[in-house]
Chains A and B, each alone.
Chain A
Amino acid sequence: MNKQIYFYTLLLMLFASGVSLKAQVIRPFSATDLNNNLIEYQDLKGEKLTVYDFWASWCKPCLKAMPKLDKIYEEFKSKGVNVIGVNVDGPRSFSKALPLVKSLGLKYPVVGDIDGNIKDDFEVGSLPTFIIVNSKNKIVYRHEGFASGDEEEWKHKIEKFLEK
């Protein structure tokens, strides 16, 4: 019983204390777009900020967020911000990703992550997850889930990080 108390006290202290030595840095990676072309991380990066949206075709809030993210892409692409959709559909549904992206008319690039390696490296725990990475490859903002109104918060965060 004492061991359990020690374990949960330690866990609480570790996570509740806000221990955070440095922001997580993204390791270089390459991914294939939905037409099977290999794209390297350097070619995907925005000059100032890169916004990653992890989504799947079966995730309803993801589909709701994507047209709003497309508007953000249109608004900020000339300011050094790139948006990248990372589709994490597995074998069951990967064939639906491309027609869905095309029918939604998304203008930002979308890459496939059928084996989940990019998702794991970014430590994504739920869908959709919206991540902002700065020019030094550091994760500066992470948002899980989507409800109407969240897109305003994302815009404010992008504007704030562009000012830095």
Chain B
Amino acid sequence: MRIAVIIITLFHVFILNAQFSGTALTEYQYGKLPDEASDEFHSVYTNLKLNYQFKKIKAESGLQVFQSPYDERNYVQLSEFTLGYQTNKFDVNLGNYSEILGKGMLLRNYEIPGAVIENLSYRSKQFFYTDMLGAAASYKTKSYSIKAMWGYALNNLFPPTQDWNVRRSDEIFGAEFGYQLGKHKLEVSGLRLQNDLEKSNYGMLGLGGNIIPELTYYIGYANYLGGKGKEGLDINALYGNISLSLNKFGASLEFKNYENFLIGSGINEPPALVKEHTYKLLNRSTHVLQPSNEKGIQLETFYQPDVFSLITFNYTFAQNEFLKKFNYNEWFLEYNGVLFEESDFKLFTDYAIDEFKSQEDRITIGTYLDHSISDKSGFIFEAEAQNFNRFGEKVKNRLIGLTYRYKSKFYAGINTEWSNDTFVSEDEKYWVGGIVRYKASSKHSFQMFAGERRGGPACSAGVCYEVLDFKGVELRWTARL
């Protein structure tokens, strides 16, 4: 009887006074890669997260499931289990956790919301994230901060069908100490990495703050501090930025110089200094950072002529040296404003020279118009065009999209692309796809795609990856408890 009372009491304390939360993403596909010899097939991917919270303690769990007709691609995986305690000052996590060291120069974990990736080699799907498996703790006050961590870093180039020691080959110990010096903050970071090929130690110094209220800066320098497996290499990274804000004008100037700074299997992500475009053709044409050898600058300016207008200019220069020097230069100008009081309007132009991809005189122009036809509904029109020269060939890419929207609850649209790029297809090629999105409530949303989708490089949330082409039908259900 006494035990029953204790159990009931505990149940009330821990269950009824606790919060459960969770999300689930399920994606069903019927189709194939357009050039694949095999027939279309069905596949289902699910990413389920369930969390339990009791006051300042939170237990998080995650499950990934992929099912297809091919056994070697299928898996059921416990992707996450974390026990965490958090207050204003303390943060302790055991299990899977996400961390960053030295503004990403030494370590960066990330999760790209809603992104499911498929690797061409393994053809298995997984959620697009990296994390650590181990333990981490941090303590923050107004004058200083300290954090320490240990764990095995996830290499997401390998899907969950691969062995644990392949996916988490890098063991790291990391620590960071920050000290506030008036309006400046000094950060000292260290990382020790160990895998089958190397034992490496890295150190970093960072300083950031305000010179005057309108002018802020950050500078960080990281260096290899010795170890085994990287003898004879010059390994270092320098990053800095300075930001200016004057009334309706803002500017950010950044510079980088990275030398052999790919840590382990790629657990770090030094700032790329390349604009992440939301326009599809530009996003696909992006320059991907090579931390093993890259230097460059990025200048971005903003000017707001009125409340709902913004003019953005960006200049990017990157240089890689692999036997010879390859320069990347890009100039981008965008106007974002309101047209006829009812329509959101964007117009952009972009000029680039990408020597690494042998793209000369790459000119991209485009527009985006969201025209309201009532208080709640409207049409979105997108058009982009890109021309460049490569080995004497004139390459053209075109994109047009038309979407009907009802608030942010319902979208139905069609997207078409055309290209004569022989690197993509021997003959001229069209891609036509229809997409419908419906947000049934704040907890459930559905998305359906039917048609053919063009793949290629994509960048989201600062991370670049490869998206595979797809032809078929795709249904996605996103739910929240």
Contact = CB atoms under 8 A, between A and B. Distances in A.
- The reply to whether chain A is a binding partner of chain B is yes
A14 B443 CA distance: 12
Contacts of B24: 11, 14-15
A15 B65 contact: no
Interface residues of A, number: 73
Given A21-B16, A117-B98, A125-B113, A30 B307 contact: no
A36 interface: yes
B408 A146 contact: yes
Interface string B224-240: 00000000000000000
Contacts of A46: none
Contacts of A25: 19, 53
B473 interface: no
B195 interface: no
Interface in B38-67: 44, 46, 48-49, 51, 53, 55-56, 58, 65, 67
Contacts of B53: 24-25, 27
B162 interface: no
Contacts of A104: 302, 304, 310
Contacts of B439: 144-145
B104 A60 contact: no
Interface string B255-278: 000000000000001111110101
Contact of A148 (B91, B243, B344): B344
B87 interface: yes
A95 interface: yes
Interface in B403-419: 405, 407-408
A99 to B, nearest CB: 3
Nearest to B277: A58
Interface in B290-338: 300-304, 307-308, 310, 336
Interface string A50-62: 0000001011100
Given A29-B86, A117-B91, A67 B307 contact: yes
Contact of B241 (A4, A23, A95): A95
B99 interface: yes
B121 interface: no
A102 B248 CA distance: 7
A98 B344 contact: no
A118 B407 CA distance: 27
Nearest to B99: A115
B2 interface: no
A89 B245 contact: no
B296 to A, nearest CB: 13
B302 A90 contact: no
A36 B208 contact: yes
B103 to A, nearest CB: 5
Interface string A25-63: 101111000111110111000000000000010111001
Contacts of A15: 22, 24, 443-444, 479-481
Interface residues of B, number: 104
Contact of A93 (B108, B376, B462): B462
B26 interface: yes
A102 B11 CA distance: 50
B362 interface: no
Interface in A95-127: 95-96, 98-100, 102-105, 114-117, 120-121, 123-127
B373 to A, nearest CB: 11
B245 A99 contact: yes
A149 B375 contact: yes
Given A15-B479, A28-B86, A104-B310, A92 B250 contact: no
Given A11-B24, A27-B56, A93 B245 contact: no
Interface string B189-213: 0000000000000000000111001
A22 interface: yes
A150 interface: yes
Contacts of A2: none
A28 B87 contact: yes
B462 A124 contact: no
Nearest to A70: B307
Given A58-B278, A91-B104, A143-B442, A103 B248 contact: yes
B370 A92 contact: no
A140 to B, nearest CB: 11
Contact of B103 (A16, A21, A94, A103): A94
- Best-surrounded residue of A37, A41, A91, A141 (most CB of chain B within 10 A): A91
A37 B182 CA distance: 10
A100 B88 contact: no
Contacts of B347: none
A103 B183 CA distance: 22
B251 interface: yes
Given A28-B87, A89-B462, A149-B376, A99 B302 contact: yes
Given A20-B481, A28-B86, A149-B372, 5 more contacts: A28-B56, A58-B461, A88-B461, A100-B302, A104-B304
27 contacts: A8-B26, A14-B481, A19-B481, A23-B19, A25-B53, A38-B140, A63-B336, A90-B269, A90-B462, A90-B463, A91-B103, A91-B462, A99-B243, A99-B302, A103-B248, A105-B304, A105-B307, A115-B98, A125-B113, A125-B114, A143-B442, A144-B445, A147-B405, A148-B344, A148-B378, A149-B407, A150-B407
Interface of A: 4, 7-8, 11, 14-16, 18-25, 27-30, 34-38, 40-42, 56, 58-60, 63-64, 67, 88-96, 98-100, 102-105, 114-117, 120-121, 123-127, 141-150, 152-153
Closest 6 CB pairs of A and B: A99-B250, A91-B104, A102-B245, A92-B462, A103-B250, A90-B462
